[in-house]
């Protein structure tokens, strides 16, 4: 009987420890715990694995959350623990030339032979003629070069006389949490709406009313709405901007044909995933260009056309801005604060005066070349940075990731 005592004590101890890991008591804001039954870190709401008492213990009056860093608040950098990732594929099927991802068990990019971490079928699936080991890793200089070419190719951008902005009051970053309307006049004094009759603008605008902005409510597209997605991709691919981007990525051996490229764009931008309640309620396009509401906050919403149209309808109230880019022509960049039909956006950066294909091209370029990282570009001789994040909780194809967000990083961020 005495021999059983240590075993009984060990079992009781492990049960007590397991019980501790099912509650957030004394665990608020701790790092991800792989062995815990549930989590209490600040990212658990994003991943849907919080303990049942997380809201009460960690976000109630007795346990306020830590102040968030000054960034795009819903889009602060996330180090996703391995336990939250999909089961990464161990094959190179449909993965040739993908960007390096440290969470993958093996790799299929051109440098994996150099590091000895290729998947076993890399050579048979990816070693076809035209695969260039030296061109797979896109350099900062190459990104700056192609972004300048895309900038020059944007013939559909607004001209100075097409848009009159009234940016009014500029505030400091410390004032963004005040939620005070310091600008009594709208941001847009005038926009030449003839721009919106151009094919890419018209196709883009058709997409904006296809979404329910509240997360947790599933999106269900009609045949007409799916056709509008295809029409938008078809129109942007006819532009010089997207031809520049595709030519660059084809030269980099990222895509073997234009159709392969278009199919990937459709999946990464329009593919649905769940930001809450197990519903397919979100996509990269909806988040970035149309905007969403989650937990009482505006998330995404980084497009000037959407802003103008909602402001014109009286649904957007411009509050102030914290950054105005150095460009003296369009596209320009503005980081602003606003209220969207009762919900506040603390830091919202957007291109101003750019064509839909221009934004779509630069965000796609950065997501393909620098997913989850800051992407350093150049526009008209001025530096520009774009941040993208992949959605890590679900994938398409054989482990490819959807776009979670993409936005311009202002100098104050």
Q: Best-predicted range by mean pLDDT among 18-27, 49-58, 170-179?
A: 170-179
- State mean pLDDT over 335-354: 95
Q: Is the pLDDT of residue 149 over 70?
A: yes
What is the rounded distance in angstroms from the CA atom of residue 161 to the CA atom of residue 194?
12
In order, the DSSP letters of 87-142 are: ---SS-TTTTTPPP-TTSSSB-STTHHHHT-B-TTHHHHH-STT--GGGSS--HHH
pLDDT for the residue 316: 97
pLDDT for the residue 20: 47
Which element (helix H / strand E) includes 264? helix 258-270
Q: Is the pLDDT of residue 39 over 60?
A: yes
Among residues 157, 345, 393, 401, the one annotated as catalytic is 345
In order, the DSSP letters of 1-41 are: -TTHHHHHHHHHHHHHHHHHTTS-TTTTTPPP-TTSSSB-S
pLDDT in tens, 288-333: 999 999 888 999 999 999 999 999 999 999 999 999 999 999 999 9
- State mean pLDDT over 212-221: 79
- State mean pLDDT over 7-21: 46
Average pLDDT, the chain: 81
Q: Does the domain made of 90-130 have the CATH classification 1.10.10.10?
A: no
What is the rounded distance in angstroms from the CA atom of residue 212 to the CA atom of residue 286?
9
Q: Is the pLDDT of residue 129 over 50?
A: no
Q: Is 47 a catalytic residue?
A: no
Q: How far is CA 213 from the centre of its chain?
A: 16
Place of tokens 């004094």: 189
pLDDT for the residue 87: 33
pLDDT for the residue 249: 96
66 confidence band (pLDDT: 50, 70, 90): very low
pLDDT in tens, 152-169: 999 999 999 999 999 999
Contact 39, 32 (CB under 8 A): yes
Contact 380, 154 (CB under 8 A): no
pLDDT for the residue 16: 44
Give percent above pLDDT 90 in the chain: 56
- If one compares 83 and 35, the residue with the highest pLDDT of the two is 35
pLDDT for the residue 59: 62
- If one compares 254 and 71, the residue with the highest pLDDT of the two is 254
Contact 206, 230 (CB under 8 A): no
pLDDT for the residue 94: 72
- If one compares 211 and 119, the residue with the highest pLDDT of the two is 211
Among residues 97, 107, 302, 393, the one annotated as catalytic is 302
Q: Give the domain ranges of the chain.
A: 22-55, 90-130, 140-409
pLDDT for the residue 6: 52
pLDDT for the residue 55: 66
Q: Is the pLDDT of residue 71 over 90?
A: no
What is the rounded distance in angstroms from the CA atom of residue 324 to the CA atom of residue 337?
12
Q: Is 287 a catalytic residue?
A: yes
285 confidence band (pLDDT: 50, 70, 90): very high
Among residues 84, 97, 107, 287, the one annotated as catalytic is 287
- State mean pLDDT over 219-223: 85
Q: Is the pLDDT of residue 17 over 80?
A: no
What is the rounded distance in angstroms from the CA atom of residue 273 to the CA atom of residue 394?
7
pLDDT for the residue 40: 80
Q: Is 393 a catalytic residue?
A: no
51 confidence band (pLDDT: 50, 70, 90): confident
Read off the pTM: 0.70
46 confidence band (pLDDT: 50, 70, 90): low
């Amino acid at each position: 009987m005495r021999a059983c005592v240590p075993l009984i004590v060990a079992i009781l101890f492990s049960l007590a420890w397991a019980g501790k890991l099912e509650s957030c008591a004394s665990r608020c804001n701790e790092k991800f715990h792989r062995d815990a039954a549930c989590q209490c870190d600040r990212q658990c709401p994003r991943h849907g694995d919080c303990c049942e008492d997380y809201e009460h213990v960690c976000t109630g009056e007795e346990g306020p959350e830590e102040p968030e860093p000054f960034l795009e608040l819903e889009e602060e950098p996330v180090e996703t623990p391995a336990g939250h990732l999909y089961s990464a594929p161990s094959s190179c099927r449909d993965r040739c030339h993908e960007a390096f991802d440290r969470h993958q068990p093996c790799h299929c990019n051109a440098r994996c032979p150099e590091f000895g971490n290729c998947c076993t079928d890399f050579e048979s699936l990816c070693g076809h003629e035209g695969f260039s080991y030296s061109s797979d890793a896109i350099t900062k200089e190459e990104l700056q070069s192609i972004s300048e070419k895309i900038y020059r190719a944007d013939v559909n951008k607004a001209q100075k006389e097409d848009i009159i902005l009234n940016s009014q009051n500029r505030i400091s970053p410390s004032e963004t949490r005040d939620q005070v309307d310091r600008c009594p006049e709208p941001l847009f004094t005038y926009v030449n709406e003839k721009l919106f009759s151009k094919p890419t603008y018209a196709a883009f605008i058709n997409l904006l009313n296809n979404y329910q902005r509240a997360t947790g409510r599933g999106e269900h597209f009609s045949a007409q709405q799916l056709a509008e997605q295809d029409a938008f991709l078809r129109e942007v691919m006819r532009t010089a901007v997207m031809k520049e981007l595709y030519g660059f990525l084809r030269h980099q051996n990222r895509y073997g044909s234009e159709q392969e490229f278009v199919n990937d764009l459709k999946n990464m931008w329009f593919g649905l995933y769940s930001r809450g309640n197990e519903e397919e309620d979100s996509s990269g396009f909806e988040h970035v260009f149309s905007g969403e509401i989650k937990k009482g906050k505006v998330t995404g919403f980084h497009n000037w056309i959407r802003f103008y149209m909602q402001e014109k309808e009286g649904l957007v109230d411009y509050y102030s801005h914290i950054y105005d880019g150095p460009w003296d022509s369009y596209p320009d960049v503005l980081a602003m604060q606003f209220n969207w039909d009762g919900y506040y956006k603390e830091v919202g950066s957007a291109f101003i005066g750019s064509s839909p294909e221009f934004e779509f091209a630069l965000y796609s370029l950065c997501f393909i070349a620098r997913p989850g990282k800051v992407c350093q570009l150049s526009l008209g001789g001025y530096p520009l940075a774009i941040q993208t994040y992949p959605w890590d909780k679900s994938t398409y194809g054989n482990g490819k990731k959807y776009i979670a967000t993409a936005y311009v990083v202002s100098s104050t961020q």
